[in-house]
Amino acid sequence: MQKKQLTQVLEYDKYNVKTYYLLGELGEIEKDYKNAIDNFEKVAILDKQFKDIQLKLGKLYLAHSKGNQKKAVKHLKLALLNDPENSEIYYLLGTIQYEHFGKHKKAIRYFHQTLSFEPKHPFAYYDLANVYLDLNEFELAEKYYLKSIINNPELRTLDNDNVFNAYKISKFYKKPTYKGTILITGATSGIGKATANLFAKNGYRLILTGRRKEKLDIMRLELESNYECKVLKLPFDITSTEQIDYAIDNLPEDWKKIDILLNNAGKAKGLDSIQEGNWDHWQEMIDTNVKGLLYITRKISPLMVERNHGHIINISSSAGKEVYPNGAVYCATKHAVEALTKGIRLDLYKHNIRVSQVSPGHVEETEFALTRFDGDTEKAKIYNDFQPLKSSDVAEAILYIVSQPAHVNVQDVVLFSTQQANSTNINRNGRKD
């Protein structure tokens, strides 16, 4: 009834700012956030200084409008013009720069501005600690972590204590000699994680990338604790050119000599026939499997060309060599990886850069099946009745490729488990010992 009455008011006065504001608040109460944003935007157009309208829009775009972080920033900056000492606004801007754009320096500035107006802010010190941890500024990370737990004791956990004090452990290691530096995309699970462990064990420095910062933190701690290795983590979304540009452009100087790029990040989504396919699934696979590989390769290959040295390894799939029913788009993305591998090789061989690929069949110890079926654990039980490859098997193949003499380029390795003949012919008569 209330919504109907407010709408009737607008029929007589379409410039009634208060009515649009009330409709926006009603949208918030009803959790109809799109409607709330639409009405609050009308308020902002009619009166950009009305109450807290800019802050409201900034928070709504950030929390309830996927992919609209830039709009959130726009409104939050307008909110600052009206309220330049509002610590909440600075904190939100810092959070966006850090978590969504990966812009560490801007985030640091906003978090410090937050603290200048609210010295006992419950989270700004903790966020600063995480930013400095990302930048490998370990002593600053520990300093701000200690300040954060003084302000907010609930932030103190065993995991946090371990992460923010991990740098002290490395001081007791003898400085090892490294075979080279490998950058691994999609490093937090499956083949990427197995490869990180194997290469750490075999004397390589690691640059680990992925979207999940917390998992990267844990991986770095585990790897540096278990092996005498150096690990740099780069949290970014492989589908974002902006985040990739920032991460690579801001690499510490001694990490820019990347010897191996492992293009491992990839996704399979859905198992539908073409007439029933999900647009979002298609977009996600194309963005990750094809565009993501292109983005990071475009960024790293010039560093290799400059040194006249490097090795690029793309993780493809048996789906790049054949197609199967209900997998048209996934197979197409992996066929694209095959074509890109060959094309990149033709572009870079004259610069002494090796280009290889690994094409496995079914691999367990990954998130492949769970991701493909959107977290449906029952549908994801596709390996129960046969023994597929393990992630470590693929990692061993990758190590074999890079371990060949400099004049040898292993162009392609195709792997299946013994019980899998090709993409569609699998002996599902139980696991064989």
Query: pLDDT tens-digit profile of 364-414?
Result: 876 655 555 565 666 656 667 788 899 999 999 999 999 999 999 999 999
* Average pLDDT of the segment spanning 266-272: 89
Higher pLDDT, 96 or 16: 96
In a domain, 363, yes or no: yes
Q: How many domains does the chain have?
A: 3
The lowest-confidence range among 47-61, 76-90, 268-282 is 47-61
Query: Is the pTM for the entire model greater than 0.75?
Result: no
Residue 299: is its pLDDT beyond 80?
Answer: yes
187/295 same-domain check: yes
Residue 172 pLDDT = 42
The lowest-confidence range among 58-62, 89-93, 186-190 is 58-62
367/256 same-domain check: yes
179/167 same-domain check: no
Active-site residue (options: 204, 330, 349, 400)? 330
* Average pLDDT of the segment spanning 36-51: 82
66/136 same-domain check: no
Share of the chain above pLDDT 90, in %: 56
Question: Which pLDDT band, with edges at 50, 70 and 90, does 25 fall under?
Answer: confident
Share of the chain above pLDDT 70, in %: 91
324/282 same-domain check: yes
307/326 same-domain check: yes
In a domain, 411, yes or no: yes
Residue 396 pLDDT = 97
Q: Is 178 a catalytic residue?
A: no
290/364 same-domain check: yes
CATH number at residue 139: 1.25.40.10
Question: Which pLDDT band, with edges at 50, 70 and 90, does 170 fall under?
Answer: very low
164/206 same-domain check: no
* Average pLDDT of the segment spanning 211-221: 88
Residue 51: is its pLDDT beyond 60?
Answer: yes
* Average pLDDT of the segment spanning 66-71: 86
Higher pLDDT, 22 or 432: 22
Higher pLDDT, 270 or 308: 308
Residue 103: is its pLDDT beyond 60?
Answer: yes
In a domain, 318, yes or no: yes
Higher pLDDT, 67 or 100: 100
Higher pLDDT, 355 or 156: 355
264/290 same-domain check: yes
304/338 same-domain check: yes
Question: Which pLDDT band, with edges at 50, 70 and 90, does 213 fall under?
Answer: confident
In a domain, 433, yes or no: no
Residue 251 pLDDT = 93
Residue 377 pLDDT = 66
Residue 292 pLDDT = 96
The whole domain housing 126 covers 107-172
Instruction: Give the pair of three-digit tokens for residue 417.
Output: 């488990």
Residue 167: is its pLDDT beyond 80?
Answer: no
Residue 166 pLDDT = 60
- Residue 93: partners with Cβ closer than 8 Å, 6 or more residues away: 73, 76, 77, 110
In a domain, 17, yes or no: yes
Find, among 234, 245, 230, 190, the residue nearest to 395 by Cα.
Answer: 190
First to last CA, the chain: 68
